[in-house]
Amino acid sequence: MRFIIIVFCCLICIDISAQIRSRKEIRPEIEALRATLAAADVIYGRTTGAGETKAYKAFKKLVEKATIPELKILVKDKNTVVKGYAFWALVLRDRKAALLIKRKFKFSLKKVNTGLYGCIGDRFKLKDFVNIIYSLPDDQMEFLYTP
């Protein structure tokens, strides 16, 4: 029994140290954007209500400023909204890298709130959201995202 408890504690410590190491690989500017996206709790598209949301503005900056390695780290974030935005940014920046992540990484079945098309909201499983974003043709992607 003690052995199982010791192994369990070691696994928790390994997971925590990996998260700390990942956070060190993300610049403070990108970490601030990550915090803004996590606080939103909704993945917004370009047009929502009267204009761009704070989260969507942070997403635009993420697309512009984050490196591909930073986006790959954010795709593994614990927050579902951050994962969704990070994958979307990866699709916009490097479609091949996004495909590799899509194939390799098991996206959760946890649902994420979206507001992609104006005021129309929806809830998708994160896995379904990733598939939808990856498969969108360029003209529809332009409707959702403009730099």
pLDDT of residue 79: 95
pLDDT of residue 88: 92
List, for residues 56-107, the tens digit of each pLDDT value. 899 999 999 999 999 999 999 999 999 999 999 999 998 888 888 888 877 7
Compute CA distances 88 → 10, 45, 61, 85, 92, whole Å. 34, 11, 13, 5, 6
pLDDT of residue 113: 79
pLDDT of residue 20: 41
List, for residues 2-41, the tens digit of each pLDDT value. 656 665 555 565 544 444 434 458 999 999 999 999 999 8
pLDDT of residue 33: 97
Name which of 41, 97, 112 is nearest 66 in CA terms: 97
Can you tell me the distance from the alpha carbon of 129 to that of 135, in angstroms, rounded to the nearest whole number? 10
